Amino acid sequence: MSILVDAGTRVLVQGITGREGSFHTGEMLAYGTRVVAGVVPGRGGSITADGVPVYDTVRHAVDETAANASIVFVPGPFAADAILEAADAGLGLVVAITDGIPVHDMISILPVVRQSGTRVIGPNCPGVISPPHCKLGIMPGNVFTAGPVGVVSRSGTLTYEIVDELTRAGLGQSTCVGIGGDPIIGTSFLETLQLFEADPETRAVVLIGEIGGSDEETAAEYIPQMSKPVVSFIGGRSAPTGKRMGHAGAIVSGRVGTAAGKVAALTAAGSPVAETTHEVASLVAAALAGRSG
């Protein structure tokens, strides 16, 4: 079992004919993902080089193909409208890969989208993968392998690095979720941990956080209630106060969002916090051994 996506996920690509949409559609198809439709206004009736039919609207695509999830490669100024269109068509999951979506756009649409029952992952995220069944995103699929470890992360690059370490250590993954690095995102660490807690095939979770905001501290409050061990890593420990490091949400303001504060909260919650990415796999192995012993 997995969370969010599985072998039955039927994917619709918004912005499929653009450079990024076209390339990653090919990569998702090669991984085995069921990409059933694309949406580009004005391109309806065409077929991509990969053989995917293109529609003018999300609703038409859903009616014709029974798509149940969308991935958004629409440029930033128009991406919020694309997310709203997907929610209005009744899609249960929307993965917004796009970065540069105006913050006020996300603030205005997320309450509407959540009320519709649609879950948004992102924006500015690498997506979701449940190896080997479905890759709904831009991750390098070759580093992932099936197993019992769930991964939730704000950073795509750190995700790939840590997952590669897990895979090399024989610790496969149930689902990996990149929640995105923007200040306003659709799904939090807490919500993702709750999904992993309910998944019977996930036996341990890796939480990959970074400086900025308080999402990691909020998640830490929930960890003691979990029946599964959570191993953590916090990026950006050497970042100076007031400097934005990488993601738009990775900024320390005064005492809020510091690496030290996040590490302290997670440690107090009983989550081992790795000092380097290389340590994560051994901490996960020890946590799993401790639960089975």
pTM of the model: 0.92
* 144 lies in the same domain as 284: yes
Residue 1: what pLDDT? 61
* 167 lies in the same domain as 275: yes
In a domain, residue 52? The reply is yes
Residue 290: what pLDDT? 82
* 113 lies in the same domain as 165: no
* 288 lies in the same domain as 197: yes
Overall domain count for the chain: 2
* 80 lies in the same domain as 158: no
* 42 lies in the same domain as 73: yes
pLDDT digits (tens, 9 = 90+) for 141-174: 999 999 999 999 998 899 999 999 999 999 999 9
C-alpha distances in Å from residue 259, one per residue of 121, 183, 241:
24, 16, 11
Provide the domain limits for residue 191: 140-292
* 160 lies in the same domain as 244: yes
Q: In the predicted model, is pLDDT for residue 252 greater than 70? A: no
Q: Are 267 and 273 in contact (CB under 8 A)?
A: yes
Q: In the predicted model, is pLDDT for residue 180 greater than 80? A: yes
In a domain, residue 208? The reply is yes
Q: Choose the final residue of a domain: 87, 121, 155.
A: 121
In a domain, residue 19? The reply is yes
CA-only gyration radius of the chain, Å: 19
Q: Are 154 and 181 in contact (CB under 8 A)?
A: yes
Q: In the predicted model, is pLDDT for residue 243 greater than 90? A: no
* 68 lies in the same domain as 162: no
* 40 lies in the same domain as 72: yes
Residue 114: what pLDDT? 95
Q: Which long-range contacts (CB under 8 A, 24 or more apart) does 187-190 make?
A: 187/119, 187/120, 187/121, 188/215, 188/218, 188/219, 189/152, 189/215, 189/216, 189/218, 189/219, 190/215, 190/218, 190/219, 190/222
Q: In the predicted model, is pLDDT for residue 89 greater than 60? A: yes
In a domain, residue 131? The reply is no
Query: Angle formed by the axes of helices 215-222 and 259-268, to 10°?
Result: 0
- 104 part of the active site: no
Residue 255: what pLDDT? 54
| CATH code, domain with 244 | 3.40.50.261
Mean pLDDT of 129-136: 97
What share of the chain has pLDDT > 70, as a percent? 91
* 162 lies in the same domain as 261: yes
Q: Are 138 and 31 in contact (CB under 8 A)?
A: no
* 112 lies in the same domain as 144: no
What share of the chain has pLDDT > 90, as a percent? 85
Q: From the candidates 24, 60, 104, 247, which is the catalytic residue? A: 247
pLDDT band for position 239 (cuts 50, 70, 90): low
